[in-house]
Copies of this chain bind each other. A is one copy, B any other.
Amino acid sequence: MKQVAQRAGVSISTVSHVINNTRIVSADVRDRVQGVIDEMRYVPSAVARSLKNDKTNTIGVLVPNSSNPYFAELIRWIEETAFQLGYHIILCNAHGGPRRQSAYLRLLMEKRIDGLLLVASGADDDHGLLPHDEGVPIVQLERALPGLDADLILGGQEEGGYQATRHLIELGHRAIACVCGPADLPRTRERVGGFLRAMREAGIAVAPESVVHAEFTSAGGHAAFNMLLARKQPPSAVFVASDLMALGCLCAAGAAGVRVPGQVSVIGYDDIGGAGFASPPLTTIAPPKQDMARLAVEQLIERIKGAPAPLRSTALAGTLVVRAPTAPFH
């Protein structure tokens, strides 16, 4: 910048002002400076600017595992919104335990991120998160960490589980099982909660063994579905609390020669990209990923800009996407 000033024969502050349009500069000086800038391929340093202004235009995004399609899609929307609003994303995968998580958090604080978007898994890992440096706004997605004062965006998971189950019930099913992730994950608990509520309301008793816990992966879903098939009384419909798991179920059904939805209906949750082209295409609950991401980023940036501060908690609703593999009970 100093060099630009010299070569243009003006002061360093004038250069600054033509760059930022921050005060009136005569046309010829402005052109001359701009010319030198182009010629020298000068690019202002956001680092120095950040040091001076005490803001980095960067937000940290901490997710359990960015290669999970659901998070990958969420991240994509977060990135999109952030970019439009002039912010950059630093991507962090929390997966790998509390040590990893707090190491990351520490780094983010050192980098002086303006805000943090937190998608906590809800597993025990998360305790490494707190306490955070007061002063960095946080918005949480989907899961409220106990003790963390931060805005929260919810995706209506309990309601989603309820809707999915209602769909099955309305099709006439009564022998409905539920396949879900580990019991200690809030993500699981809420979705299953919706399932149980729907069943209760419909007056259908749920045997404890009708709720099968497995890993939150396709392999987990695959295994769980096989267990279900092995029962003397297999269910006629299954609510699977995650598309990844549901895909595993579909795969297990195919391998076992069980027709979906002929013999058993399956409904998933998340509406990941692969769901629409599964075989058969998966009926599922679609969380409002795009809206959640947009709202989260917008709200975070509002906070960054110093908006007042009543803690907000917003719940957005998901929608039921009906595709092939759910059918009326014969």
Q: Please state if A76 and B47 are interface contacts (CB–CB under 8 Å).
A: no
Q: Is the CB of B80 within 8 A of A110?
A: no
The answer to whether A219 touches B111, judged by C-beta atoms less than 8 angstroms apart, is no
User: Which of A29-37, A156-164, A175-183, A247-255 lines the interface with chain B?
Assistant: A247-255
Output the least CB separation between A73 and chain B (Å).
Answer: 5
CB distance A218 to B273 under 8 Å?
A: yes
A interface, by DSSP: helix, strand, loop or mixed?
helix
1/0 contact string of A266-302 vs chain B (CB within 8 Å): 0000000110111111000000000000000000000
**Bound form: Cα–Cα A83–B99 in Å:** 13
Residue of B with least CB distance to A86: B107
Chain A residues numbered 39-61 whose CB sits less than 8 Å from any CB in chain B: 41, 43-48, 50-51, 56, 58
Contact check, A67 vs B56: say whether CB atoms are below 8 A apart.
no
Instruction: Report if A75 contacts B (CB, 8 A).
Output: yes
CB pair B45 A112 closer than 8 Å:
yes
Complex interface: stretch among A8-16, A89-97, A234-242: A89-97
Q: Is the CB of B107 within 8 A of A47?
A: no
Cα A328 to Cα B90 with chains together (Å):
48
Q: Which residues of B contact A92 (CB under 8 A)?
A: 79
Contact B112 A46 (CB under 8 A): yes
User: Interface centre among A72, A79, A276, by most B CB within 10 Å?
Assistant: A72
Q: Which of B75, B76, B219 contacts A277 (CB under 8 A)?
A: B219
Tell whether, in the assembled complex, residue B276 and residue A254 are in contact, meaning their CB atoms are under 8 Å apart.
no
Q: Which chain B residue shows the least CB distance to A50?
A: B47
Query: With the chains together, A278 CA to B254 CA distance in Å?
Result: 9
The listed residue (B56, B88, B253, B277) touching A222 by CB distance below 8 A is: B277
Specify which of B41, B47, B222 is in contact with A111 (CB 8 Å cutoff).
Answer: B47
Q: A18 at the A/B interface (Cβ < 8 Å)?
A: no
Residues in chain B near residue A72, CB distance under 8 A: 66-67, 69, 72
Q: List 9 A-B contacts (CB under 8 A).
A: A44-B110, A69-B72, A76-B93, A88-B107, A90-B90, A91-B91, A244-B273, A247-B278, A253-B279
Q: A45-B112, A66-B72, A88-B90 are in contact. List 9 more A-B contacts (CB 8 A).
A: A41-B133, A46-B107, A46-B112, A47-B51, A58-B90, A67-B69, A83-B93, A218-B277, A255-B280
